[in-house]
Amino acid sequence: MKIGILGATGAVGRQMMECLIEQNIKVDELRLMASHRSVGKEFEFKGKTLKVIEAKEDSFEGLDVVLGAAGGKSSKYFAPFIKKAGAVFIDNSSAFRLCDDVPLIVPEINGADAKNHNGIIANPNCSTIIAFMALYGINKKSNLTKMIVSTYQAVSGAGIEGVAELQNQVEAISGGKNIETNIFAHQIAYNCIPSIGAYLDDGYTDEEMKMQNEGRKIMHLPDLDVTCTCVRVPVIRSHSISISFATEKPLTIEEIKEAISNSKGVKLMDDGANNIYPMPISTSDNDIIEVGRIREDKVIGGYSLFCSGDQIRKGAASNTVAIIKCL
């Protein structure tokens, strides 16, 4: 199989290279593409040194699959050329997620949908993937009807620059120096910022609406109602999510735990008395979604849980690579 990575030099693109090896994807050729600024950069892949080439309209000839790790603007521009070259474009950006003719795929949940593509397959938002990985086993027992969600999103969700800004601010504060704020609207060191994405007319952000809009499509639940608040926290890697949810028919806590335990890619971590629960630090650099703090929600008449997952891996790179297997 001949595979290209568009946006190969970023955190997600580099992680995709590792995931291709980890998931035993047979790669006869790997073509690394990025903007002109990255041309000539070298990366090791299966014992070979690969050089980055500039992404141009004719860069995709002969490829079977192109993995998108660039932004939405690049994805929209290059998509027609990728399709013209006969490759399947599996894109990690938000550019095509809600298009009717583009499958939105989490392999464990709706992998079969991937075959109904028209040349483009979309990878969901990282928080959406983590949340519904925690919930999909429960949904098999009884359909979800509504969710109240708060996300606690790591600075690496804003890219390598976000990580650097947190680290630089911590060092500056420790050294009694003035901090610099460029990536985030406010100081992120020792702080939480309850604002991710662009604001919409109703006061929600576009990041917050992804949980409902993408969740409905992935889960085949067009009437699912979700209210979400997204918060940036001073954690380097892995997002955490608090979810209260209701289902069509009542379930017992034992049934919910059983559903989570039997869900592929999910680990039950639910023993609070012994300090066992999901945390960003224990989910970093792996593909497992941890789920715990399971209890009845005494307000909405449903249930509550807490989950964590690595947004660079399962929330982006590894999920995108795994979609290849769905084809």
Strand-pair partners of 31 = 4
Contacts of 154 (CB under 8 A, 6+ apart): 233, 235, 236, 237, 238, 239, 280, 311
Residue among 295, 311, 272, 257 at smallest CA distance from 131: 311
Q: Is 239 a catalytic residue?
A: yes
**Which residue type does 304 have?**
S
Q: Is 304 exposed, middle or buried (0-12, 13-18, 19+ CB in 10 A)?
A: middle
Catalytic residue among 126, 228, 230, 307: 126
Q: What is the DSSP string of 236-257?
A: SS-EEEEEEEEESS---HHHHH
Where residue 129 falls (left for φ over 0; alpha for ψ -120 to 50; beta otherwise) is alpha
Strand-pair partners of 11 = none
User: Tokens 């910022």 map to which residue?
Assistant: 193
Catalytic residue among 19, 239, 307, 326: 239
Distance of alpha carbon 15 from the chain centroid: 12
Point out the residues that are catalytic. 126, 239
